[in-house]
Amino acid sequence: MKIDYSQWASRALSIENLKLDIKNPRFSYQSTREMNQTEIIKYLIKNHDVYELAKSIAINGYLLNEEPIVSKEGGNYVVLEGNRRVAACKVILNPIKFLSPHRASELAKYGSIGSKIRCHIAPSRRDADTLIYNKHTGIPLQKWDKISQDAFLISLIENENLSPEQVATKLSVPASDIRKAMRRHSIHQYSIKLFEKEPYELEQIKEQGFPITNFERFYDDERGLDFLGLSFGSRGEIQKRLPSEEFDRRFRFIVQQILSQALTSRTFNNEKDKKDYFTTIESYDKEKFDLEIKAASKPIADSENGTACDKQEDAPESEMANSKPPKRSRRKSGLFVNYEWGDTGLEKLDTLFLSIKNLNYKTHTNAAGILLRCYVDMLTYEFLLRKGVLKDLSSEKAIEDTKDNDRKYEELKKYLMSEFAISEEEINDDSLRSYTKFLRKTPSLANPSLGDMIAYIIKHTDLVDDNTRLVEVLKKFKKSNSDFIDLMALNMFVHNPYYIANSSRLEALEDEISPILDVMYLAIKNEN
């Protein structure tokens, strides 16, 4: 549902009475308890340049285009967006409370500010989610670090009981991004748990900018997963394929490698670097970990509470130790296995989806590509049909085709007149147009091409509630793209006998277009 932000109320509110958001992703993961308001401000001063921001506001004034977004919760206005700025204003109004005497004195030189600040009032926290996420994952504001981004996404899943796919649709991002965030969050939380009695390391793990993506690079490699004895559940939870003690030893080792910068983004720059790193790991002695203990094929303990999870019954530890490392499967056999789009009530459409979902695309890549091409075509058509715009699409297409044919016909006429010294009067326009097929088009209600339908949605963004991210997805899909299977490649699956694509590009396409396909599915489902 499209949110009209222009309808939100705007009101001057007391800075003193505004409550900073204890659920803010920047610091919500910092402590096992909720911080009070003073602790939050001091944390922001220490870690997020709030003192410097306070100086800037005291000198230059508060910029009108940076009004906070608040929502009323429990009788108080809570700052959903603009916590740094509101904290800075609170510091200006009461520097002695939050700053050292020297800093307080320095800030006081620049003068104070008014006691109120104009805020936009969101109807609820959830109404503000999309706007806030887009702001802090882009350029205009101070960008959240990856851990903060993940914490925000997890809060949506846990507080609203949303699925990763629902969050992806809400924020117009690929569902794969949400699933990756869930895994990173689990890894970060487990790291905190393992080092909770080691203050120095714990502080580094919790601090802004902890390179969690370096850990992600490690476990994204099959060798890294097997070394850790790690797998993930459907909600991103950690599942152990090693005895708990050995699992923790190896997990701690990787965290320490990251903290010491022995494992960085450069470590996994290319396949040679990766191979060298894993060879180095194998050289460590048993004081760090025991590589003779091999990961089991299934989880043997639950993520963080140590309870049984798909436990291998009657399998002695010695047998487990000698078992071969499991082959990791990136996902189930089919595409879009995390989606339930097969219940629109349109038999052929639903059957196509279930076929795509169940077909092993790695073994039958060409068949999967052809099925996907048919499904996307039919889904898009049914989407536009329910939007009631197929007639308009046909009319627009006829006008465009006519203009194109007129241009080509005029070029042909000029060529004939120049090359063969023919006058314009000697040319029978109707006959020549008929011979050359450069005819003026009339609207046709015949099925439009997939390319035409995609182009129409790009042109009429209101069909997707003016969601710019979804429009960009369609633009990338329509334009020749080497990163994933695009429209041209899908067409070649059907029409080009020599075109062969690898399965990884189909996976990339799945990740790329799932948000827009989900929007189309929901529109059809809700109408049926």
How many domains in the chain? Answer: 3
CB 85 within 8 A of CB 142: no
The position carrying tokens 């620049």 is 110
pLDDT at 71 over 80: yes
Confidence of residue 55 (pLDDT cuts 50, 70, 90): confident
Q: pLDDT tens-digit profile of 304-358?
A: 444 434 333 334 444 344 444 444 344 457 898 878 898 999 999 999 999 999 9
How confident is the model at residue 46, as a pLDDT?
A: 85
Check whether residue 86 and residue 213 sit in a common domain.
no
Check whether residue 305 and residue 370 sit in a common domain.
no
Check whether residue 466 and residue 513 sit in a common domain.
yes
Q: pLDDT tens-digit profile of 194-209?
A: 998 888 888 888 876 7
| Residue type at 410 in one-letter notation | E
Find all residues with CB under 8 Å of 477, minimum gap 6, and list them.
454, 486, 487, 509, 512, 513
How confident is the model at residue 169, as a pLDDT?
A: 64
Check whether residue 191 and residue 242 sit in a common domain.
yes
Find all residues with CB under 8 Å of 392, minimum gap 6, and list them.
none
Q: Is there a domain that residue 33 lies in?
A: yes
Q: Is there a domain that residue 411 lies in?
A: no
Check whether residue 118 and residue 238 sit in a common domain.
no
Q: pLDDT tens-digit profile of 447-460?
A: 788 999 999 999 99
Q: Which of 91, 110, 125 is the last residue of a domain?
A: 125
Domain that holds residue 355: 347-389+460-527
Check whether residue 215 and residue 288 sit in a common domain.
yes
How confident is the model at residue 351, as a pLDDT?
A: 93
- Specify the DSSP class assigned to residue 301: B
Check whether residue 375 and residue 521 sit in a common domain.
yes
Per-residue pLDDT, averaged over 234-262, amounts to 89
Confidence of residue 131 (pLDDT cuts 50, 70, 90): low
How confident is the model at residue 26, as a pLDDT?
A: 62
CA 79 – CA 264 distance, rounded (Å): 36
Q: Is there a domain that residue 147 lies in?
A: no
How confident is the model at residue 32, as a pLDDT?
A: 47
Q: pLDDT tens-digit profile of 387-428?
A: 999 989 988 888 888 888 889 888 998 988 888 888 888 888
Per-residue pLDDT, averaged over 168-176, amounts to 68
pLDDT at 432 over 80: yes
How confident is the model at residue 3, as a pLDDT?
A: 58
Q: pLDDT tens-digit profile of 265-285?
A: 778 777 888 888 888 887 776
CA 132 – CA 81 distance, rounded (Å): 6
Between the alpha carbon of residue 302 and those of residues 181, 242, 296, 325, the distances in Å are 19, 11, 14, 19
Q: Is there a domain that residue 413 lies in?
A: no
What DSSP assignment string belongs to 224-281? HHHHHTEEE-TTS-EEESS-HHHHHHHHHHHHHHHHTTSS-GGGGSSHHHHHHHHHHH
In the chain, pLDDT over 70 holds for what percent of residues?
A: 83
Q: Is there a domain that residue 377 lies in?
A: yes
Check whether residue 352 and residue 472 sit in a common domain.
yes
